[in-house]
Structure 1
Amino acid sequence: MKKPFKWDDYSDQPALLQDKAYKKSMRKKERVSLLYTLFSSFILLPLGLLMMPFVKRKEISSTEFFSLGVDWQRETQTTQLLLEELEVQSILVRFKLWEMDRLDELKKFILQNSDKKIILKILQDREHVEDLQLLKNDLHVIFTTLGTSVTFYEIGSTINRAKWGFFSVREYLHFYQVAYDLKKNEFQNIQLLGSGVIDFEFYFTVHTLFNFCKCKYDGVAALLYVDRRGAPENMQLGFTLTDKIALLSTLVWLSPKTKQALHVTETNWPLSNTAPYAPTSEYECVSEKVYADYMLRYYLLAFASQQVDSVSWHQLIAAGYGLVDNREGIKKREAFFTYKFMFATLKNAQFLRMDIKRSYYIFQVLVDDRLLQIHWSFKETTLKNQDFFDVYSKSGKKIEDEILTIGSSPVYIFITKEVGQQVNASERI
């Protein structure tokens, strides 16, 4: 059976595998690898937790940090116009190995965006997982055609979900080894991202980073979704998004298999009332307003960690989870304008600190030598709008109210340069 999954064009992912007997037999076949995944995590996850306080933060380039996922096959002309409007300088595009006949179209799109840093996420199917010679042939064509016009090639995706074609980390490592051998022997100038684990299932990540495979990564890719927990600040097994990033960064730091680079190459929240386009059930879906709030807060928390090199939002145009809805023409959602203002404001920001007190968050950066604080709170509260404040909503609208309401939607507060060093805008009334 060469293709055990069927692609769902609505949600841009494989449909669930229906053949339970097939899944059971494949997992039984891979039981040694699955046992290694389990036992290695028993040792290395506790070690990672112990070492978390000792991992130093990096200086993250804000320009490259804010990346955006783009479907180059969807609304192509509109996509290009939207990218020009957003002025993003880093994008992620996906390429399906079962569509090699469309490689020239992809090349054209990449050359159109040659001024940007590009991550190319190469999506696998079961045929390429099973036939490594076919994989080698097709990767050779891709690397030859695109070369260093792509900044990073992400090899494989969502490796811990059977519907994506892998039944164990062993299978993934053999898959990745083909790409690494090509890089080592013929394409030394390209850069490869690996691992590709989705969600907070770091026991799979451990196996991809600590193993006997004779391969290395130029950076680690993670599909770090937190949508099933609601807000990005919410906990899962005692871990907030910030904690998950810290643990993942520590595992990358400890691993002998990779350079110290971590890229979140996929994350989002599904949108309410968009079935069948939403990639999850209605239970996990949120409103367009909440989606924009969560997106901005995710980016701020990840940037404040100073441990993530880039976050690629998934994605620009998608009816069920994108910044733009294309079901009836082109509709820019609230999140589009939130992303646009976020990038325009923070693309040259220098991070200073993040303060959190009683569920009140203050993200602080320098922007063109001006102090910028971004405030949000779980409990709605108020703040006096001082004469030396210059205040904007999350989408860039000027706020001149005498009393500011601070709640779940982050508020941008620029502070006059002369007093920026002396005042803390966190004093609430």
Structure 2
Amino acid sequence: MKKPHKWDDYSDQPAQLKDKTYKKQMRKKELFSLIQTFLLSLILFPISIISMPLIKRKIVKSNEFFSLGVDFEREKEQTQELIDELGIKHILLRLKLWERDKLPELKAFISQNKEKKITLKILQDREHVEDLELTKKDFTLIFSELQNLVNIFEIGSTINRAKWGFFSGREYLNFYKVAYEIKKEQFSNIKLIGSGVIDFEFHYTLHTLFNFCKCRYDGISSLLYVDRRGAPENTQLGFALTDKIALLSTMVWLSPKTKQELHITETNWPISNTAPYAPTSEHECVSQTLYTDYMLRYYLLAFASQQVDSVSWHQLIAPGYGLVDNREGLLKREAYYVYKYMFQTLKNAQFLRMDIKRNYYILQCLVDNQLLQIHWALYETTLQNEEFFKVYSRDGKAINDTILKIGSSPLYIFIKDAQ
């Protein structure tokens, strides 16, 4: 990767871009595009918010909804064993354009998992943002090698952070258009998703959805982190996770540039006391208990929206934010077992409804023709365990207590036939 962009191997992301003069120069160069982003937001944000109640839910395929980010280079043999043990049907892989020489290794890994749905996130660097002929060459190579193995290609990532290589919406659209034109000319069968905005900065998303670029998406990707707000139910500018999803889904629905698919291709919470592996400061980190609760609740809220086609947890193995810690051997965190039970229980679930009353949440769905309720609350309370309840903890352990404790950790309650 060319300077001034350097990669941080601890947190799997570019290091902070500290050259303030360079950043100032680039933003000045992209001033017109940044003004476009501002003006589009001024006009389209109010329209999107007003239109939110009009958006209908769709039917989400639950077995594809639960996706997991996997590093194909990390602990290779054990990684495959973990994937098989989880039974997950949808995985997200990442390929760095500046490491395109690893394409054969990636292809071999994908071939091992060819029965699974594969999303490939193609990560950019500044060289490929600037040299679009190089980008065209590398995209053509990637599509040629993987067109029959990858279900979804996500083009670019984290486009609203300068350290990732983009300084404006214009630069991203030019980058994405290269992939789109290659698809049209040579690989009409492949599926491209894009946008890749991180956090609740939907003004950048609007620019990628409403523009004069001669390109289209097969779906929209979002790195919808909410970790800086704590719990997924917490609000930012009045928007909780469910509201952010509804707003983003509305933008996708209004845009003439994309099919009606929405994929959250990255989210997590950083884990306390894991520096330098945590991608944020200790202030944003949470305990492993909260990490696990928040992960499960994030998935449940996103699934209940019935507006998100998939959520990819970032990721399987990572000391600072993963389901498994590999600093001293492989240590499966509690979140690993909770993710496993979540997927095994809900992989064929049919969503029915979500009830929220005074910060008490009940998600209802059908699992193998049996009613399942998942309860949690933002405060500690109790619930009488009825004879027709069959109750399990967040990691699948049976609970037979007469009085059930309802709080941060969701409980699975299967409702047996009361007749």
Q: Report the TM-score when normalising by structure 1.
A: 0.97
What secondary structure is seen at the aligned counterpart in 2 of 1:148? Answer: coil
1:33 aligns with 33
1:136 aligns with 136
1:160 aligns with 160
Return the alpha-carbon distance in structure 1 between the equivalents of residues 187 and 100 of structure 2: 19
Alignment gaps of 5+ in structure 1: 420-429
Return the alpha-carbon distance in structure 2 between the equivalents of residues 4 and 266 of structure 1: 25
| Cα distance, 1:18 vs structure 2 | 1.2
What secondary structure is seen at the aligned counterpart in 1 of 2:95? Answer: strand
What secondary structure is seen at the aligned counterpart in 1 of 2:267? Answer: coil
- The answer on whether the counterparts of 1:3 and 1:125 sit within 8 Å (CA) in structure 2 is no
1:290 aligns with 290
Q: Is 1:12 matched up with 2:26? A: no
Alignment of 1:377-396 (within 5 A): 377-396=377-396
Deviating 4+ runs (over 3 angstroms): none
What secondary structure is seen at the aligned counterpart in 1 of 2:225? Answer: coil
Return the alpha-carbon distance in structure 1 between the equivalents of residues 175 and 96 of structure 2: 15
2:98 aligns with 98
Amino acid corresponding to residue 54 of structure 2 in structure 1: F
Deviations 1:303-323 (A, max 9, x none): 000000000000000000000
Amino acid corresponding to residue 381 of structure 2 in structure 1: T
Alignment of 1:114-263 (within 5 A): 114-263=114-263
| Cα distance, 1:31 vs structure 2 | 0.1
| Cα distance, 1:217 vs structure 2 | 0.2
1:427 aligns with none
Coordinate RMSD, CA, aligned: 0.8
Deviations 1:182-235 (A, max 9, x none): 000000000000100000000000000000000000000000000000000000
Amino acid corresponding to residue 398 of structure 1 in structure 2: A
Q: Is 1:68 matched up with 2:68? A: yes
Return the alpha-carbon distance in structure 2 between the equivalents of residues 148 and 37 of structure 1: 36
| Cα distance, 1:418 vs structure 2 | 4.3
What secondary structure is seen at the aligned counterpart in 1 of 2:114? Answer: coil
- The answer on whether the counterparts of 1:245 and 1:302 sit within 8 Å (CA) in structure 2 is yes
Return the alpha-carbon distance in structure 2 between the equivalents of residues 108 and 19 of structure 1: 39
Amino acid corresponding to residue 110 of structure 1 in structure 2: I
Deviations 1:226-273 (A, max 9, x none): 000000000000000000000000000000000000000000000000
- The answer on whether the counterparts of 1:369 and 1:417 sit within 8 Å (CA) in structure 2 is no
Amino acid corresponding to residue 334 of structure 1 in structure 2: E
Alignment gaps of 5+ in structure 2: none
1:401 aligns with 401
- The answer on whether the counterparts of 1:4 and 1:165 sit within 8 Å (CA) in structure 2 is no
Deviations 1:149-189 (A, max 9, x none): 10100000000000000000100000000000000000000
Return the alpha-carbon distance in structure 1 between the equivalents of residues 318 and 250 of structure 2: 33
- The answer on whether the counterparts of 1:3 and 1:127 sit within 8 Å (CA) in structure 2 is no
Return the alpha-carbon distance in structure 2 between the equivalents of residues 229 and 66 of structure 1: 23
What secondary structure is seen at the aligned counterpart in 1 of 2:93? Answer: strand
Amino acid corresponding to residue 242 of structure 2 in structure 1: T
Return the alpha-carbon distance in structure 1 between the equivalents of residues 134 and 2 of structure 2: 13
Amino acid corresponding to residue 259 of structure 2 in structure 1: K
- The answer on whether the counterparts of 1:161 and 1:167 sit within 8 Å (CA) in structure 2 is yes
| Cα distance, 1:379 vs structure 2 | 1.3
| Cα distance, 1:417 vs structure 2 | 3.0
Q: Report the TM-score when normalising by structure 2.
A: 0.99
Alignment of 1:344-359 (within 5 A): 344-359=344-359
Return the alpha-carbon distance in structure 2 between the equivalents of residues 302 and 318 of structure 1: 23
1:78 aligns with 78
| Cα distance, 1:4 vs structure 2 | 2.1
Amino acid corresponding to residue 397 of structure 1 in structure 2: K
1:324 aligns with 324
Deviations 1:363-418 (A, max 9, x none): 10000010000000111111111111100000001101111100100000000034
Percent identity between matched residues is 71
What secondary structure is seen at the aligned counterpart in 2 of 1:277? Answer: coil
Return the alpha-carbon distance in structure 2 between the equivalents of residues 396 and 9 of structure 1: 34
| Cα distance, 1:2 vs structure 2 | 4.2
Amino acid corresponding to residue 72 of structure 1 in structure 2: F
2:372 aligns with 372
What secondary structure is seen at the aligned counterpart in 2 of 1:265? Answer: strand
